Structures are given as C-alpha cells and as structure tokens.
Amino acid sequence: MSLLFAAACSKDSTSLEATGKSGSITRFAVHNGYMYALNPNEVLTYSLQDADQPVLVSRITTDYGLETIIIYDNTIYLGSSSALYILDITNPATPVILSKTNREALFIGGCDPVVVKGNYAYSTIKIIENICGNVSSQSALLVYDVSNKTAPVSKGTYTLGIPNGLGYQGNYLFVCDEGTDRLEVFDISNPLSLQQLTDNALDITDPYDLIVDGQKMIVSTKTDFQIYDLSSLPTITKIGFIAK
C-alpha cells in the first residue's frame, strides 16, 4: 500500500504527506534500482535500470505461502504462512536465502506481516481462515532475535485477537488487531520483555494496516484511513480521516 495525502480531512486536521511509504502488508518492495515481488512460493527480482522495461534477473523458490515483504538494512524479511525468511541483498540483483525460522505447530497457517528494528523482528500471526488458506490455532505477536541473520531465535510470544499490520515509532510498536477492534501499543524498549500499554490502545473498527511517517501515523480500516499524531507518545491523538 502506497499513499499520498496532500491535504487534511477536516478543518482541525494537520496536513500529511506520506509519499512512497508502505505498510507492513505488501507483496513487493523497491530497493537500489531493483524490485522484489512475491509469488506464493517465489521471490522475483527485477532490474529497474530501464524503468519502462523491467527485466527479471533472479527467481528464488521457497515453500508455498509467501505473503509479505519488508527491506531493512540491506536485508529482505519475508512473512509466509509457515515461517519467517531472511534474505541477503548485498548484491541486490541476486538475493540469497540466509535462514528460515521453524514455527511451532500452533502457528502454522497464519499470515505474518513483519517489521524490523535493530536486532529484533516483530511479526503477527492470526488464527482465522484468511488469504493464507489455513486456520492456525493461536494468534500472537512474535519477537525474533535476528542479530545472527543465519540463525534467528524466537524470543517472545504475546497473545492477540486477529492481528494484522504493524509498525513502530521510537520505542513504541503499534499493532492492528481486528479481533478486538483496537490498535494495540507495546513498549519495546526491552525487546526481550515487551510491555503492552493497554491504557494507550485505541478503539478502531476493523484496523488492517498502518504507516508511520515521522510524527504521524495512518491506519487503514475497511472504510477509511485514520490519521494520528504521535508527537506525545505513548499518547496517540486522532487528527483526521479520509473516507475510502
């Protein structure tokens, strides 16, 4: 999802531009002149040297169920219905799979958007039958230590309703939870022991994905885009919306 907000939605709203930003639920990404796109069991790399004629330069096969992609620190993180994949793109034309996590059986079948900060990756798993085509037995926010990209280690599990997209600002992680109709907020100052800030959570009907852009956050729901001010975290203030 890539959005351009050129004006505020009400007379009390602050203007917001989020050009080129994307949420955590996305199936392609552009980096250093290359585009990486997902098929259900493939990562396709296209050279954008000639933007009018992209050229397929690499194809990597994975297990079935790829869903989301994010790039952080010259590394691709892939969320699938069965694992978290980590790919090196030091040479952006030829991605190399560094590792694949082993997920516990109770999480098999869940979709998992991923965001990364420093040495830790945060991923959500949801239990309902959905685009992944399966039902997993537990929904949660998972935390991985990815300091060794060839051997990520699971470090935490936090039960949620039906979590979807997520993002962070500073030491605060935001998670869209359709199951509870809330935007959950976590203090991630200590990645090994997250603190869920229930008093700072927001009541939002059907939150799906979000974009953090500086001191502003856009939350995508089934009916609108809601705009929030993050300048006084952990307090979050709504400043506008755009109807879909």
Domains defined for the chain, CATH in brackets: 28-243 (2.130.10.10)
Q: Residue 46: which pLDDT band, with cuts at 50, 70 and 90?
A: very high
pLDDT on residue 111: 62
Strands 96-100 and 114-117, how do they pair?
unpaired
Tokens (6 digits) for 149: 């990209």
Print burial letters for 95-126: b (CB count within 10 Å at least 16), e (below 16): bebbbbbebeeebbbbbbbbbbeeebbbbbbb
pLDDT in tens, 179-214: 999 999 999 999 999 999 999 999 999 999 999 999
pTM for the whole structure: 0.85
Question: Is residue 86 pLDDT above 80, yes or no?
Answer: yes
